[in-house]
A = this chain, B = another copy of it.
Amino acid sequence: MKKALFLLFLSAGMCWGQSPDAFQPASTNVPNAEFPRIDADSRIEFRIKAPDAQKVQVQVGTVPAIDMLKGADGVWTVTTPPIVPGFHYYYLNIDGVAVNDPATRAFYGVSKDSGGIEVPEKGVDFYLAKDVPHGEVREHWYRSSVTDTWRRVFIYTPPGYDKDVKMRYPVLYLQHGGGEDETGWIKQGHANFILDNLIAEGKAKPMLIVMSLGYAKRAGAPDTNLGGAPFGSPAAMKAMQALTQAFEDEMVAVIVPMIDAEYRTFADRDHRAMAGLSMGGMQTFQITLNHLDKFSYIGGFSGAGTGFVFGNNSFDQKTAFNGVFADAAAFNKKVHLLWLGVGTAEPERMHTGIVAFHEALVKAGVDVKFYESPGTAHEWQTWRRDLNLFAPLLFQKDAK
């Protein structure tokens, strides 16, 4: 029926792609910006005035760069093919320089404040602000004894946190991906709205969410620049490991005790979860599996067992992660939830790596939940879906 209507428009001489009524400004635009705009088929029309430019392209998410066309008025435009729903980083390439579209909001990703565009998913609103009680997100500065720098965490407090000042809450520590920062899960991920909605529907327990900067350099340590080494290369892995070890200290020795001291938490492993996306998923597995005395719920969203993602799909049950899976029955008893997620449209290496890790865990007798996000790539729509399915499984039992 929809296809028939579409053809009808065409046969009536209207071009669907150029009908202004069919396009709506993206929710990620700056106020009053008409472009970029998106139609019902998730095609995006971009526009930029650049009379003196020689060549302008647009690069959206994982889609290859698309040439824009210059009009007589010096305005460059293009309408993309349908784009998969969700949040995508995007750039304009003006005479060879990748820059943000001035018409769009900036989101920290790809190691800088990048342009981003939200493509709505039809009929799906679990990550949008709804008319339900809303929690708050607190910006909290502290001086770290690990890094000897000022650092920032964001803390989601659920609706009612300030009302009943005797109530205590479990805590989910939730990490961003490589090139992103502690703002990602709110600005790109809408973690606050996802939890507001789940809590309002009674699907998730009220909880705190703590979002930290996932990079840490020990005070006095030499600079490591992860960005300088090709992704997945031995040099990048080594640099990531150094960062991750310092971040492990930051999380376990600084952040968790600070949160337990300054917020009304249940300060025990049964009420403590950690999850993360991509790099944050790898950090989650390293930190939680090294500290099962502190965490009992574990989530890897498109990132978990490092070796699998980077092409080394071997799994030695006795030695992997310092032997934590050697006694699967004991592990299953101790850990309340182990979750792996991945999008079906993620890069082949990432997808097969996580599928293989899941299969190896199942074969080893480890209880593990596995979720494949249909049609989504290594992008935020995958991780929003992960969180929406993961959070309801948290803190449902105080102990096994």
User: A residues engaging B (CB < 8 A)?
Assistant: 30-33, 48-55, 92, 94-100, 102-106, 111-113, 129, 131, 134, 136-143, 150, 162, 165, 186, 192, 215, 225, 227, 262-263
Contacts and interface: CB of A to CB of B under 8 A. Distances in A.
A137 B40 CA distance: 38
Given A32-B227, A111-B31, A95 B54 contact: yes
Contacts of A104: 113
Contacts of A97: 48-50, 52-53, 94, 99, 102
A216 to B, nearest CB: 12
12 contacts: A31-B111, A33-B112, A50-B97, A51-B96, A94-B99, A97-B99, A97-B102, A99-B99, A99-B102, A129-B150, A131-B143, A136-B140
Contact of A102 (B49, B98, B139): B98
Contacts of A186: 139
A95 B30 contact: no
Given A48-B97, A106-B113, A141 B150 contact: no
Nearest to A155: B136
* Top 9 closest pairs, chain A to chain B, by CB: A52-B96, A106-B106, A106-B113, A99-B99, A137-B139, A30-B112, A52-B95, A50-B97, A136-B138
Given A94-B94, A106-B106, A129 B141 contact: yes
Contacts of A32: 111, 225, 227
Oligomeric state, in copies: 2
A49 B105 CA distance: 23
A354 B31 CA distance: 30
A31 B54 CA distance: 31
A262 B94 CA distance: 48
Choose among A134, A165, A227 the residue with the greatest number of B CB atoms under 10 Å from its CB.
A134
Given A53-B96, A137-B139, 4 more contacts: A32-B227, A103-B112, A129-B150, A136-B138
A104 to B, nearest CB: 8
Contacts of A92: 99
A394 to B, nearest CB: 22
Nearest to A51: B96
Nearest to A56: B97
A311 to B, nearest CB: 27
A392 B143 CA distance: 26
A210 to B, nearest CB: 13
A150 B125 CA distance: 15
A95 B98 contact: no
A390 to B, nearest CB: 23
B53 A95 contact: yes
Nearest to A91: B102
Given A99-B100, A139-B137, A52 B51 contact: no
Contact of A112 (B102, B111, B136, B139): B102
A167 to B, nearest CB: 12
A147 to B, nearest CB: 13
A30 B162 CA distance: 35
Contacts of A150: 129
Choose among A55, A105, A162 the residue with the greatest number of B CB atoms under 10 Å from its CB.
A162
A149 to B, nearest CB: 10
Given A139-B139, A165-B165, A30 B131 contact: no
Contact of A137 (B138, B215, B262): B138
A324 B371 CA distance: 65
Contacts of A136: 138-140
A95 B50 contact: yes
B30 A113 contact: yes
